[in-house]
Structure 1
Amino acid sequence: MPLHTDPSSTYLHRFYSSRMVVLSYYRQEPSGTAEHTRLLSRLSDIPGGSVEKLKLETCFYVLTSDKDISKEDEEKLLWIFGKSFQEEKLGKESFLAQEVSNDKLLLEIGPRLNFSTAFSTNAVSICQSVGLNKISRIEKSLRHLISFTEATTVTPEFEACISSKLHDRMTHCRYTEAVQDFGLNVTPDDVFEVDILGEGRSALERANKELGLAFDDWDLDYYTSLFTDKIKRNPTSVECFDLAQSNSEHSRHWFFRGRLVIDEQEHEKSLFKMVMSTQDHTNNNNVIKFSDNSSAIEGFDVRTFSA
């Protein structure tokens, strides 16, 4: 469901914040790498300013219950974050902060914090393998220090234009300040009834648009009839979300499993049957086929050596 910011912290968030702390570590990134070149290319056609130089650093945000991390544990952490023979390019203070001036722009881009990234899962697993058991999450952002070829007026609109070229809004966002915790401080919208009994299909059409349910005409007709004639009550907004997910093409494969008619002639196999037929006789090693998006193959005996 849609989320909105709640200015008052919940009990869970207060508990979460009081027990955990976020540590920050910074790593200088070299120029001339494929990533550096790619980002420079993206910034090459910014309207209203020309980029002269781009410097990068990675910031690691570490969520831990150990507010006073020991020197030994911190050395392990720095070893994990560092690159070989570049120990001097990793520290607890930002390298780029020392170079910020009025004619330069510092932008930090990182993953959206409403879910742990795959990077975090792997990084935490590595930490646990070396005995850093008090660390529960690690996320990393990329900080960009941008210099311009001539005097440039940096407006909020100009910053937004540059920021949009540096990240995918679906998975990443701009950090306007350092991450202090991973609590979202959000509460769900209130649950409400969709008044199908009183307004008919138009009520469901409005909910479909406002909630982004992606119901098509068939869905709108079917659910209007279902709640009006059979269930005889109004659905809640939560139920509408559930229906939208449960009966989506992703879950049900309506079109993939549907009848295939080309030039008014129905074909024997649906699209899904065509895909499944590739494994009917050609791959006897495949013992589970198209079962809940999973599969399995036959194994074989191997000799192992154990000291």
Structure 2
Amino acid sequence: MSTPKTKQSPGLAERWNGLGLWAKIGVSAGALVILLAIAVLVARWLTSLGAVQDFMTTYPGQSELPAGAPVGLPAWLGWQHFLNMFFILLIIRSGWQVRTTKRPAAHWIRNNKGLVKTKGNPTKISLDLWFHLSLDALWVLNGAIFIVVLFATGQWLRIVPTSWDVFPNAISAGLQYLSLDWPTDDGWVNYNGLQLLTYFITVFIAAPLAIATGLRMSGAWPKNATTLNKIYPITAARALHFPVMLYFVGFIVVHVTLVLATGALRNLNHMYASSNEVNWWGFGIFAASLVVMAGAWFLAQPLFLRPIASLTGKVSK
């Protein structure tokens, strides 16, 4: 006589897959809060040790800038900051839609007319992907202008490591942030080591990775380049592109949080008003930029995108 099989309770993976999107977000947020609390406790314990205190005295968090490094943030940097923020916000939104939308509201196919013509039939893509690629092109153009002006004005000295002591200073600054005894530095003159390395990674590593992986996944990549495609397969690009997007999301969250928590008025004046004063001008410009971005977020839907996309191709449902 066979014994009846007992029903096994679902495992952790099955339970996770059974949760809805908002439930997953809530669980992830709760886990993140717990991890941050543990990190704060560990950092406060470490900074109470004599050896760590000596280390932080030797490396207070900032590296000395080279002679001739510029002081202050010019107006062009404020405009670049806004444009970059504007484009990256919509790029993340449209990229997420491309990744998650199963039945796009509309499709776009390029007109094979004009000065530039390609062989074969143009590829039909979703309207979301057209918007994503169009934003990518504008973001890359803005980034190219930023890099040229950055080196032409010497501002690169503020975000490119020029001394090895930036690494222990970054560790010191990180311990200060985690222990909630935040470093008292002046971003108008010099970034701390952790800021410098983060900005360097964002500008010179994460952004090029986003471009290189996005280009490999786009229709502009030469499909018949057999050797090149073996060296750089599309699977590698797909495996990197989404984590790079997550990096930008994390950077934005931490960056905005620290800007608002470590002297909001002064920091916003640095970024938007090109001033080291403490007044409401920078906050006002920042608030206006949020209105512009909220408006663009609302308008970024098929009803408003179709007429623009139809200027360069045929839009169909």
TM-score interval for Structure 1 and Structure 2 normalised by the shorter chain: under 0.3
Name the TM-score, length of structure 1 as normaliser.
0.21
Name the TM-score, length of structure 2 as normaliser.
0.21
Q: Structure with the greater relative contact order (CA < 8 A, sep ≥ 6): 1 or 2? A: 2
Which protein has the bigger helix share? 2
Which protein has the bigger strand share? 1
Q: Which has the larger radius of gyration?
A: 1
